[in-house]
Amino acid sequence: MKPSFDNSTESTVLGAEKGSTVLPCRVRNVGDLTVSWVRKSDYHILTAGSQMYTNDVRYSIIHPKNSSDWMLKIGALRLDDEGVYECQTYSSYLFKINVSLIYQSIKGARLNSRDGFVKHPAFSSIMYTVQYRLTSRQQS
């Protein structure tokens, strides 16, 4: 049987500045094949199986025993971590899936009290409603 990726996993992950995030990759029918993670910005192989190929200790692989999950954990996120990461395995040809990491700075979020929204420069099209006061109708 050929390897296949579970497409129900997230293809875009938000990561907060200085926090940790996990990039998901679920591969079925791996058998004895090796699953690798590659950082696409510089085509650096980060992992192959459980072996790390980076000196950056912020990276680690999470692979629970007997599971099809091969998750890449990145700690202490920085802006230069943002980008596309590729989870891949090779049989007779390359099987791969991309996961995009979007870096979110914890600085720069601001409250616009006039319209009651929190705006973030990285996500200018996304607004979160904030309940910051009761109107006179809600109080009666």
The predicted pLDDT at position 105 comes to 87
Residues 18-46 have pLDDT tens digits of 999 999 999 999 999 999 999 999 999 99
Report the distance separating Cα 22 and Cα 18, nearest Å. Answer: 13
Rounded to a whole number of angstroms, the distance between the first and last alpha carbons of the chain is 66
Domain 4-104 sits in CATH at: 2.60.40.10
* Domain layout of the chain by residue ranges: 4-104, 110-135
User: What pLDDT shows up at residue 63?
Assistant: 97
pLDDT of the residue at 106: 78
> CB–CB of 99/24 below 8 Å?
yes
Confidence of residue 108 (pLDDT cuts 50, 70, 90): low
Confidence at residue 28, expressed as pLDDT on a 0 to 100 scale: 95
User: How wide is the angle at C-alpha 119 spanned by C-alphas 14 and 84, nearest 5°?
Assistant: 25
The pLDDT of residue 139 is above 50: no
